[in-house]
Amino acid sequence: MTSESQNLQHVSQNKTFGGWLKQYTHASETLNCTMRFSIFLPSVATAEHPVPAVYWLSGLTCTDENFSQKAGAFRVAESLGISLIMPDTSPRGDDVADDDNYDLGQGAGFYLNATQPPWNTHYRMYDYVVQELPGLIESHFPVSDVKSIAGHSMGGHGALTIGLKHPEQYRSISAFSPITHPMMCPWGQKAFAAYLGNDKETWRQYDACELLKQGKAALPMLVDQGDADNFLNEQLKPELLKAAAEQHDSPLELRMQSGYDHSYYFIASFIDDHLHFHAGYLLTDRH
């Protein structure tokens, strides 16, 4: 038994639509703390038949439970035979650096690798999502290495940047209300300055618009954005993502949804579309 499996602790489970939603904690070597994640396993998932997965990255202030409790994704995930992997949004613990504001520190990891103290001791969510968590999942659950990535708000930023930088690992990318250009919005500027320092050249690697300006995206992208979102103009800026994608004819479908806000009511309204979108790439052989 590996140290990883010894550290994997089962917290809870619930049967839903024939599959199982399970929650675990484990000692993360990447983040130097105990991390929690949730996983949905459809009923067809067995050791002999591992299933593909969608990794879901949540937004500011969220945990692994926001998506599992509010998105209404399990009926379709079960029908498609797809696993859902839901990590927490940041390292947590009494000895983990934090901030009094909601948009920095615990609950606000921004899916990057911090280089500045005190954040660099724990805040390495980029490596956690790209390397440690998939390794853990694929080693201990009937889940294959065929995967896509999705997220909301800060997590939409994470899904876009991670998927764009690792097309060899993922089949497709989707996002709800993503922070598309963090270098050019208050949330991103505050987090990047704290986590990465004042050299803005180091920020570009975690900015979806900047990545798209460098060349054509290798993966298909679906983005939904509500036009009644309170954060639309100041923080999210989907028009800049569209413009950046158009520079090299990147495969982006941006859908502006009339009347929808930033909440999980919005996500629940369109999550079926996103899962079917990913299934089109996860359940077919890569060309």
Active-site residue, 153 included: yes
| Backbone φ/ψ region at 40: left (φ over 0), alpha (ψ -120 to 50), beta | beta
Q: Which position among 38, 58, 153, 250 bears the catalytic label?
A: 153
Residue partners of 223: CB distance under 8 A and separation at least 6:
156, 174, 175, 176, 178, 238, 241, 252, 253, 254, 255
The span from the CA of 177 to the CA of 199, in Å, is 27
- Whole-Å CA distances, 160 to 45, 200, 259, 261: 27, 19, 24, 20
Q: Residue 215 carries which DSSP code?
A: S
Round to whole Å and give the CA distance between 65 and 87.
9
Structure tokens at 266: 């919005």
Q: Rounding to the nearest 10 degrees, give the CA dihedral for residues 229, 154, 71, 280.
A: 100
Q: Are 41 and 82 in contact (CB under 8 A)?
A: no
- 144 flagged as catalytic: no
Say whether 177 is catalytic.
no
Tokens of 207: 């900015």
Active-site pick, 229, 250, 274, 278 = 229
Catalytic machinery residues: 153, 229, 262
